[in-house]
Structure 1
Amino acid sequence: MLSVFNQNLAKEQSMSFRILQRVWRYSTLLMFAFAASCIASSARATSTPSVQSFFEYSAFSNAQLSPNARYVAMLVPAKDGNVRLGVMDVVERIPKVIASFDGADIVQFHWINDDRLVYAAGDRGVGVGDQHLGPGLFAVNRDGSEFRQLIERSFGLLSAHNATVVRALPANTGFYAAIRGSDDIYVAQHDVTRGVRDRSIRSLNLLRLNTKTGRSTVVERPGVTTSWLIDRQGEARAATTLDGDIESVFYRDAGQSKWRKLAQFNAYTGDGFSPYFFGPDGAMYVRARHGKDKESLYRYDLEKNSIDPEPLISLKDYDFSGSVVYNDKKFLGVHFETDADDTRWFDPQMQAIQKSVNDLLPSTVNRISVGYQAETSVLLVQSFSDIQPSVYFLYDSASKKLTMLGNSMPQIDPLQMSAKDMVRYKARDGREIPAYLTLPKGAGDKNLPLVVLVHGGPFVRGVSWRWNREVQFLASRGYAVLEPEYRGSTGFGWGHFKAGWKQWGLAMQDDVADGTKWAIAQGIADPKRVCIAGASYGGYATLMGLINDPSLYRCGFEWVGVTDINLMYDVNWSDISNEYQQYGMPVLVGDQDKDAVQLKATSPLVNAARIKQPLLLAYGGSDERVPIVHGTKFRDAVKATNQNVDWVEYPEEGHGWQLLKNNVDFWTRVEKFLNKNNGKQ
């Protein structure tokens, strides 16, 4: 049994990357012949980093240990080519590319067992609107042998297959979970409604698939299943279903075929629980509030059909968000997030290893991964901070030596990046609002131009302490950046989340304005040089900020922003589900009929004539989350009374920018826009 604990992670001190550089200099460095992810020269350039350097694709990513910890796999791009899958023996240190595509990237992979992996395809150089293939799924042994395609990439092949012929599964199928010690995996497949654009939530069917034969069997589901949970023996034991606004959790006893309902509850009122994982002891653990303000991790008593009274993991001031670390024998620890990422180990040996790694890498969060059935003393370390993109190391717990695998963003010099800290301020009604503040390096902490960057969602935790492209780019140009976790944001308790219900343009907006006023009162922000910005809901908040507080914000820029709540209901080519429109939005955002007056008063589209400040608008022509009609209608409305409006459309992009060229173009525009409207006095 895990012990109960409460953890409030202390703020990290300012980063000193020189220590990390010294570690690299004296560590045994492994340079992959096929990786463009080596550490840059110690002679760092002192000039301002280019726009492109912040938005380059990752040069090294997704390193994973095999279950026996004898091999490590990773994604690495060929020079001027596509991303490939490589594997290296951690003892012999000989890397090998085992899979690649001529005209596509490998975008994700998973170890199936010690000898076999599956991987999916994509193309990071193609926008959403130009992508007509799915990711597919492919299997290969770690030595490159026994290749097999498991899932088709073409969506034109959704017709039923001949049951007597083993063919790849249709493209509406994707990887779901590995099964320990087996060549089998689970894949999930959404029901398909042919010929009709159906936005209703469809069942997520689960299939057990053999990666060598391609044969699959369907797992019986208890209803319109939206998620599944697999136990350590590879059996589907828990499932969550949705019927209207009623969510139900079902459980199936080991060796049984019949599902039994554990509980049902309203999907939007926070009264239920979410199955989280099965422990090595077979117990089921769930995430729940259990009558309290914060979500914690609990053991679920399957005999009593109830949640245990006391949580196993509870975080002071934060909802539990993270993952449990375990091997084939026991729980080892838990990764979690408070104001930054951290790990708490229950295993004394792992706790000692974490200390040794932290002593070598003292200025970063160092997340350790272990082999499920480790046969070596090697562990994987992902090291990152607010100023350092992820760097991957191997750590030998026997020799206590680090070996650098690769740097995700080798062109980024942490010495040029700007520190980020969590702050808290009071909203006008007394509610405490958490926020992250980034101050431009070398610019001091007083009378700075400020960008208030509002996260999207809105009902998510939108900000973390990790390195962020947009924030660091803005800071590199001399701007302080404030990122509020306004009410309605998740991760800070039920009360903070619920206080944002039906508060678009109202109290949620006031929280952003109050954060801006706080930064001004602290002397951090120059009151004459404040700009508001954001994407999606953050775009909505940008426009409403200019409307509600015209004297507070000198300018605004937004991309893929919602411009009218009624459009979220009425535009039938968006990807918002029917269920969310019918049951979720009336509760969380506003009811079209009952709240009609409020929705009109808080509509940027209706109130566009009130915006007089300079404005930059950008939208994706292939966006299904916030269709471009949001942008075009608002552009036409605001330009009727405001000629200082810049507009850009990226036809091939969706809900955000995927292509490097478009990121460079957009943020170059932002830089010019800010220099003109929010720069030096």
Structure 2
Amino acid sequence: MGSNRVFARFARCAVLAAVAASAAFSPLTLAAEPPPAIVTQRPPIADFFENPEFSGALLSPTGNYLAVRIGSKELRDRLAVVTLADNSVKVVAAFGDADVGTFQWVNDERLVFTATDRTVGQGDMRYGPGLYAINRDASKFIQLVSRSSKSLFTGGSMIRNRDMLPVTVYLLGQKAAQDSEFVYVVQPQVSGASQVHEVGLLRLNTLTGRATPVTGTPDNSRQWLLDDKGEPRIVTTVNKGISTILYRDPASNAWRELATYNTYTGGKDGFSPRAFGPDGTLYVVTNAGNDTTSLHKYDLAANQVAPQALVQIDGYDFRGSLVTANGKLLGVRYLADANGTTWFDDGMKAIQAKIDTMLPNTVNLLSVPTRSETPWVLVIAYSDQFPARTLLYDSATSNLTTVGGSHPKIRPEQMARQTLVHYKARDGLTIPAWLTVPKGGGKNLPLVVLVHGGPYVRGNSWGWKADSQFLASRGYAVLEPEYRGSTGFGSKHFRAGWKQWGLKMQDDIADGARWAIAEGTADPKRICIAGASYGGYATLMGLINDKDLYRCGINWVGVTDINMMYDGHWNFSSDLSDHWKQYAMPQLVGDQVKDAEQLNATSPLLRAAEIRQPLLLAYGGADRRVPLPHGTKFYKAVKQANPDVEWVEYEEEGHGWALPKNRIDFWGRVEKFLDKNIGQAGAAAATTTANAAGAPQ
């Protein structure tokens, strides 16, 4: 998709800007943005890796109000409400010692929101996000769920701490009917070893703080699905590696089984409940005998999936959601190479066409209020060169106004193009990959092979990404393979990656680099492999398996030994659950007994002496997914034979960098490391060495 999108000019009108100098309630104004500056130097690192200045907007159920979360470098993230009839703005929540986290409309007058702290790393976080409720005029504030022993100040009154729900209660994350003061929250039952035994569901009154458990629920409940009226209708239970989907009949309130399948590997009868339509129809995602999944209706009377797909995307598993309003299914949001929408409603088709005409060079995603009484439509617009921006469209006047952007300092004219490419692995499997080429293109470029984590996830989609765009801004081509085992590209592609850590999954990545060489994009002598988590593991195994291919490697928070994932002993517990280790890892990664020889052969820790290329290692001191000993043990082992290893530990960070200062520091190190080894400095050094040796040029 990226290759046929040529960015021209984007009309930017206005952004929400905070004028408050403190955390007190203060108005916001609609302020015009300055014209784009003419920039000749490459963008600063901070422009890519600072926290977003604007990170969320939601229309109220009627569409009369817009809730927005705004932030800046100097101030905490705040929650504000815009009255769209007159553009008046009111900050309704501004903590003195925290940022506003997630937020959601309860009804047209009331919101709930959580707290977070963007100034500390994972290792310094001690409490859950809490839960708070407030009216759009900043009245009737209440703290509903405890966050710490001290209540956070936001003005107004609150209930006593002993009356709050405990810190282990979380917002469900699905909107209810939005026509009452109630929301649903969940309370996981977790052991000390991060083992979730059950997830309880509670109905919470956001005015009084009183919560009522949903009774009569099956044992081992894990995932809940509300119907369009906001009532719990589906629960998925998990027991000994088997998932069971149960449906609560509205006539009898009794639960009955719809399907049973293996939790991690699926099965012919398995499906994923996605949503209920306004008429009570259940929509599910299933293979239906095909390689890729698609969206289907489910016949609750016959207990079977409808054979005809409602939305099917060639070459992609379905991933998306329903778009409903005023008791009608309007369309379906989906992800192919980029996000898109299939509209069933003629009015929404016309609005989409009008907005696409006004914004011809971006993907434009439309959201509508639940019970719309206004002409307002919320628009998220983005491209590979343009970070996501939120706009409001007035369908009565056809006016389009910018609300805010995630990275307003980024100039699209400086950004690179991203293209979805495909190449053949050595065994014939087709591998999708994302190729980002520096502004202006070029041939024989230094290449960074950026490997996604997971590994059993989809790595990327078309759009602006800070890491690949930053690397491209420094002159590097970036290739991001969706190696076998990645999800989103069909069952065959996913299953081909089972038990292939360090083997065929690794070959797919190397074959991508060699494809880039054959295409003339990459300089074969200037290729570096990099990645986080599983991507860090693949970086190390790449340096071992393909010594002739990779000049250097960058591994952050990467696994260094599969056996350590099973039974590593830490000073604090890993968040890999016993359930995952018992029922998933033996089938997807490798069995410690049956595959012992393979796990040893694909252990970067045991083969550390083979790595002689320059290497940058970075780990979080509070990482519970890949605990720090993965890094420290490997660093000690690799240093014995390799003097060119750089180590950095961010003590307060977890599995990735939450703090802008650490993101900026890390990517600054990456910039210097790459420049030295495959960039201009490295090329100059290689030329000098070659000339001194009398080698032909």
User: Which TM class, normalised by the smaller chain length?
Assistant: over 0.9
Q: Deviations over 1:610-668 (max 9, x none)?
A: 11100000000000000010000100010000000000000000000011111111111
> What SS class does the counterpart of residue 591 from structure 2 fall into?
coil
Q: Deviations over 1:172-213 (max 9, x none)?
A: 1111133211100000011144xxx23323211000000001
Mapped partners of 1:31, 1:267: distance in 2? 46
Q: Are residue 263 (structure 1) and residue 259 (structure 2) matched?
A: yes
Aligned to 2:694: none
Mapped partners of 1:567, 1:238: distance in 2? 37
Map 1:290-369 to 2 at 5 A: 290-369=288-367
The answer as to whether partners of 1:201 and 1:578 remain within 8 angstroms in 2 is no
> What SS class does the counterpart of residue 202 from structure 1 fall into?
strand
Q: Are residue 576 (structure 1) and residue 571 (structure 2) matched?
A: no
Aligned to 1:283: 281
Pick the aligned partner of 1:13 from 1, 4, 15: 4
The answer as to whether partners of 2:189 and 2:196 remain within 8 angstroms in 1 is no
Pick the aligned partner of 2:133 from 118, 139, 145: 139
> What SS class does the counterpart of residue 584 from structure 2 fall into?
helix
The answer as to whether partners of 2:119 and 2:659 remain within 8 angstroms in 1 is yes
Aligned to 2:611: 611
Aligned to 1:487: 484
Question: In 2 relative to 1, CA 641–35 (structure 1 residues): closer, same or farther, beyond 3 Å?
Answer: farther
Range with bigger deviation, 545-554 or 76-85: 76-85
> What SS class does the counterpart of residue 119 from structure 1 fall into?
strand
Mapped partners of 1:589, 1:108: distance in 2? 34
Question: In 2 relative to 1, CA 36–61 (structure 1 residues): closer, same or farther, beyond 3 Å?
Answer: farther
Aligned to 1:382: 380
Pick the aligned partner of 1:412 from 407, 410, 413: 410
Question: In 2 relative to 1, CA 634–396 (structure 1 residues): closer, same or farther, beyond 3 Å?
Answer: same
Q: Deviations over 1:308-349 (max 9, x none)?
A: 112111110000011110113211111111111111211111
Mapped partners of 1:100, 1:644: distance in 2? 47
Pick the aligned partner of 1:228 from 224, 231, 237: 224
Aligned to 1:128: 122
Mapped partners of 2:256, 2:304: distance in 1? 14
Map 1:88-103 to 2 at 5 A: 88-103=82-97
The answer as to whether partners of 2:3 and 2:418 remain within 8 angstroms in 1 is no
Q: Which amino acid aligns with 2:545?
A: N
Aligned to 2:690: none
Mapped partners of 2:641, 2:161: distance in 1? 65
> What SS class does the counterpart of residue 196 from structure 2 fall into?
coil
The answer as to whether partners of 1:295 and 1:493 remain within 8 angstroms in 2 is yes
Aligned to 1:118: 112
Question: In 2 relative to 1, CA 580–601 (structure 1 residues): closer, same or farther, beyond 3 Å?
Answer: same
Q: Are residue 56 (structure 1) and residue 54 (structure 2) matched?
A: no
Per the TM alignment, residue 37 of structure 1 is displaced from its structure 2 partner at its CA by: 8.9
Question: In 2 relative to 1, CA 329–155 (structure 1 residues): closer, same or farther, beyond 3 Å?
Answer: same
The answer as to whether partners of 1:148 and 1:212 remain within 8 angstroms in 2 is yes
Aligned to 2:636: 636
Per the TM alignment, residue 382 of structure 1 is displaced from its structure 2 partner at its CA by: 0.8
Mapped partners of 2:30, 2:197: distance in 1? 41
Pick the aligned partner of 2:147 from 150, 153, 162: 153
Unaligned runs of 5+ in 1: 1-9, 158-163
Per the TM alignment, residue 79 of structure 1 is displaced from its structure 2 partner at its CA by: 6.2
Mapped partners of 2:584, 2:406: distance in 1? 38
Aligned to 2:505: 508
Q: With structure 1 as the length reference, what TM-score do the two structures score?
A: 0.94
Mapped partners of 1:229, 1:79: distance in 2? 38
Pick the aligned partner of 1:553 from 550, 553, 576: 550
Per the TM alignment, residue 267 of structure 1 is displaced from its structure 2 partner at its CA by: 1.3
Mapped partners of 1:240, 1:426: distance in 2? 38
Question: In 2 relative to 1, CA 30–676 (structure 1 residues): closer, same or farther, beyond 3 Å?
Answer: closer
Q: Are residue 589 (structure 1) and residue 589 (structure 2) matched?
A: yes
> What SS class does the counterpart of residue 242 from structure 1 fall into?
strand
> What SS class does the counterpart of residue 139 from structure 1 fall into?
strand
Q: With structure 2 as the length reference, what TM-score do the two structures score?
A: 0.92
Q: Which amino acid aligns with 2:439?
A: K
Q: Which amino acid aligns with 2:6?
A: M
Pick the aligned partner of 1:208 from 190, 203, 207: 203
The Cα RMSD (Å) is: 1.8
Q: Are residue 460 (structure 1) and residue 457 (structure 2) matched?
A: yes
Mapped partners of 2:15, 2:145: distance in 1? 38
Aligned to 1:250: 246
Aligned to 2:175: 178
Range with bigger deviation, 251-260 or 357-366: 251-260
Q: Deviations over 1:84-121 (max 9, x none)?
A: 00000112111110111001100110011111000000
Mapped partners of 2:647, 2:15: distance in 1? 47
The answer as to whether partners of 1:120 and 1:138 remain within 8 angstroms in 2 is yes
The answer as to whether partners of 1:451 and 1:533 remain within 8 angstroms in 2 is yes
Q: Are residue 402 (structure 1) and residue 393 (structure 2) matched?
A: no
Question: In 2 relative to 1, CA 144–315 (structure 1 residues): closer, same or farther, beyond 3 Å?
Answer: same
Aligned to 1:7: none
Mapped partners of 1:226, 1:360: distance in 2? 44
Aligned to 2:23: none
Per the TM alignment, residue 300 of structure 1 is displaced from its structure 2 partner at its CA by: 1.1
Q: Are residue 77 (structure 1) and residue 75 (structure 2) matched?
A: no
Q: Which amino acid aligns with 1:241?
A: T
Per the TM alignment, residue 155 of structure 1 is displaced from its structure 2 partner at its CA by: 8.0
The answer as to whether partners of 2:375 and 2:394 remain within 8 angstroms in 1 is yes
Per the TM alignment, residue 288 of structure 1 is displaced from its structure 2 partner at its CA by: 1.1
Q: Which amino acid aligns with 2:97?
A: G
Aligned to 2:430: 432
Mapped partners of 1:647, 1:524: distance in 2? 31
Q: Which amino acid aligns with 1:268?
A: Y
Per the TM alignment, residue 223 of structure 1 is displaced from its structure 2 partner at its CA by: 1.6
Range with bigger deviation, 93-102 or 261-270: 261-270
Mapped partners of 2:521, 2:360: distance in 1? 29
Mapped partners of 1:38, 1:485: distance in 2? 41
Q: Are residue 449 (structure 1) and residue 446 (structure 2) matched?
A: yes
The answer as to whether partners of 1:38 and 1:406 remain within 8 angstroms in 2 is no
Mapped partners of 1:155, 1:261: distance in 2? 42
Mapped partners of 1:73, 1:409: distance in 2? 19
Per the TM alignment, residue 55 of structure 1 is displaced from its structure 2 partner at its CA by: 0.4
Pick the aligned partner of 1:86 from 61, 67, 80: 80
Q: Deviations over 1:521-565 (max 9, x none)?
A: 001000000000000000000000000000000000110000000
Per the TM alignment, residue 81 of structure 1 is displaced from its structure 2 partner at its CA by: 1.2
> What SS class does the counterpart of residue 185 from structure 1 fall into?
strand
Per the TM alignment, residue 464 of structure 1 is displaced from its structure 2 partner at its CA by: 1.3
Mapped partners of 1:637, 1:88: distance in 2? 57
Pick the aligned partner of 2:164 from 154, 163, 168: 168
Question: In 2 relative to 1, CA 582–401 (structure 1 residues): closer, same or farther, beyond 3 Å?
Answer: same
Per the TM alignment, residue 257 of structure 1 is displaced from its structure 2 partner at its CA by: 3.2
> What SS class does the counterpart of residue 237 from structure 2 fall into?
strand
Range with bigger deviation, 482-491 or 356-365: 356-365
Pick the aligned partner of 2:473 from 476, 488, 491: 476
Mapped partners of 1:668, 1:36: distance in 2? 35
Range with bigger deviation, 586-595 or 215-224: 215-224
Q: Which amino acid aligns with 2:62?
A: N
Identity %: 54
